[in-house]
Amino acid sequence: MTTSTVLSASAPATDTPPPGAPTAPAASGTGDHLAVADDLLTLLRTTTTEPRPDEQLEALTLAVAADLPVLLWGEPGIGKTAALTQLATSLGLPLTTVIASVHEPSDFSGLPIVGDDPAVRGVPMAPPQWAVELVRAGRGLLFLDELSTATPAVQAALLRVVLERRVGALQLPPGVRIVAAANPRASAADGWELSPPLANRFVHLNWVHDRQVVVRGLGGVWPRAELPRLVPERLPEAVAFARRAVCGFLEVRPTLIHRLPSTEARRGGAWPSPRSWETALTLLAFGTAASVSREVLALLVRGAVGDGPGLELLAHLDRMDLPDPESLLADPAAAELPARGDLRQAALEAVVAAVGARPERRRWEAGWAVLVRALETGAPDLLVAPATALAALRRDEWEVPEAVERLAGVVGLARRADRSVERAAAAAEAGRATGECR
């Protein structure tokens, strides 16, 4: 092979085609191709929203409206960041995302700046740029992402940011709301458990995906986040109810006022303390004023004080909603009994207990009238236990009212009432015989 042959083979091709070769059409510029690609990306990212029942989204928006820090727990890729982006857009708030795990403690506590005369003027703590921009905007949604991968030192620096809304020497305005997200330690990259002081400052919500929401969202329609509709006329009533509920519950369960979990994992979640009970009280007031569902209220209360104490508080709320047994005995014909079976049973048992506390023939007969009312408006199987207990309260001189006969076909009360009289008479006879022997 000659030198000229080697050079020609390795030389770059020229733009001039050889004689007789077909002419190729002129290619579009690279910028044109990218413009078309951008158009396609724009179409893919163009979505709409619709009002759609979503309990976890409703719980999140109510906590944000109550100005309480929220922590979303969920596996990677579950849609936590997308939910926060959509929430900020729906509420018209600028979104500021801060990846906690890639920051230093000074990024939250402030960087010391030495001035001209530090001995007199002190050393101010300069805030980061994102905090300055939030103050300049006056409002916004601060999203602290990857919280469970932040080191303990960073978590300690975040305490004042979350609770006092201070970043260095800068005070965040009231219009800034704080939401964080974290992955469980098992699925987090080099994850840490949250420190108890930081965990106790959040409302913890478990974020899970809903199949229908995901499928419809990928089709271009996502649920729309809306702030709760608070009824102005109900605000004083809601605050009074929340205070009465939480204070009344802690009166009977004082050991739950402060209970630090024994395991490290549970300390990094929701647990009861005076601070978290205040959070639960706030959520209860907002939920009552907005008339949210019991399911949403359960998510919020359990997210504030933990599953066990939260469920106990919800059961206490149910008992608070029970009608006054004395009111039922005063007007049995107009008695309004709860529709839910467990609450109806509790209301009937309360009526029997009220009769037993002050047994009078008139009240005993009114108790039977309440049971008849319950038979007319609900399931008969709930009457067996309270009716049996009420029959046992009969005195010898009390005649069996007609109401018992109406219920006899359901639980055989007339026969039980007669047997109770016979037992009472036998006991009285035995007592007299014992006295005569003495």
* pLDDT tens track for 321-377: 788 888 899 998 888 888 888 788 888 988 998 899 899 999 999 999 999 898 888
Q: Looking at 185-320, list the stretches that DSSP marks H as alpha helix, in order from N- to C-terminal side.
A: 196-199, 211-218, 235-252, 264-267, 274-290, 294-305, 307-320
pLDDT for 179: 95
Q: Hey, what amino acid is at 407?
A: L
Q: Looking at 92-210, list the stretches that DSSP marks H as alpha helix, in order from N- to C-terminal side.
A: 106-109, 118-121, 129-137, 152-163, 196-199
pLDDT for 297: 95
Whether residue 32 is contained in a domain is answered as no
pLDDT for 14: 46
Domain boundary among 167, 194, 223: 223
Whether residue 137 is contained in a domain is answered as yes
On whether both 252 and 310 belong to a single domain, the answer is yes
Whether residue 17 is contained in a domain is answered as no
pLDDT for 32: 84
On whether both 339 and 427 belong to a single domain, the answer is yes
Whether residue 341 is contained in a domain is answered as yes
Whether residue 308 is contained in a domain is answered as yes
Domain boundary among 262, 292, 320: 320
Q: 145: closest CA among 71, 62, 92, 77?
A: 71
- The answer, as to whether pTM is greater than 0.85, is no
Whether residue 3 is contained in a domain is answered as no
On whether both 76 and 189 belong to a single domain, the answer is yes
pLDDT for 334: 87
On whether both 378 and 429 belong to a single domain, the answer is yes
pLDDT for 4: 38
DSSP state for residue 322 in the 8-state scheme: S
On whether both 415 and 432 belong to a single domain, the answer is yes
Whether residue 186 is contained in a domain is answered as yes
On whether both 289 and 365 belong to a single domain, the answer is no
Per-residue burial over 242-276, b = 16 or more CB atoms within 10 Å of its CB, e = otherwise: beebbeebbeeeeebeeeebeeeebbbbbbbbeeb
Token code pair at residue 370 = 């309440």
Residue found under tokens 């007339």: 414
Which segments of the chain have a pLDDT < 70?
1-31, 114-123, 185-191, 408-438
On whether both 346 and 254 belong to a single domain, the answer is no
pLDDT for 298: 95
On whether both 379 and 425 belong to a single domain, the answer is yes
Cα-based distances in Å from 161 to 141, 165, 296, 388: 13, 4, 27, 60
Cα-based distances in Å from 70 to 13, 203, 292, 307: 63, 5, 18, 16
On whether both 367 and 349 belong to a single domain, the answer is yes
Domain boundary among 263, 285, 320: 320
The string of pLDDT tens digits covering residues 389-432 is 888 898 888 888 877 777 766 665 445 545 554 555 566 566 55
Task: Provide the domain count of the chain.
Answer: 3
pLDDT for 122: 66
On whether both 357 and 383 belong to a single domain, the answer is yes
pLDDT for 403: 74
On whether both 271 and 206 belong to a single domain, the answer is no
Whether residue 371 is contained in a domain is answered as yes
Q: Hey, what amino acid is at 141?
A: L
On whether both 182 and 71 belong to a single domain, the answer is yes
378 is in which domain, residue-wise? Answer: 325-437
Task: Count CB neighbours of 25 within 10 A.
Answer: 5
> How far apart, in whole angstroms, are the C-alpha atoms of residue 71 and residue 204?
5
CA dihedral 341, 342, 346, 347 (to 10 degrees): -30
pLDDT for 223: 84
CATH of the domain at 214: 3.40.50.300
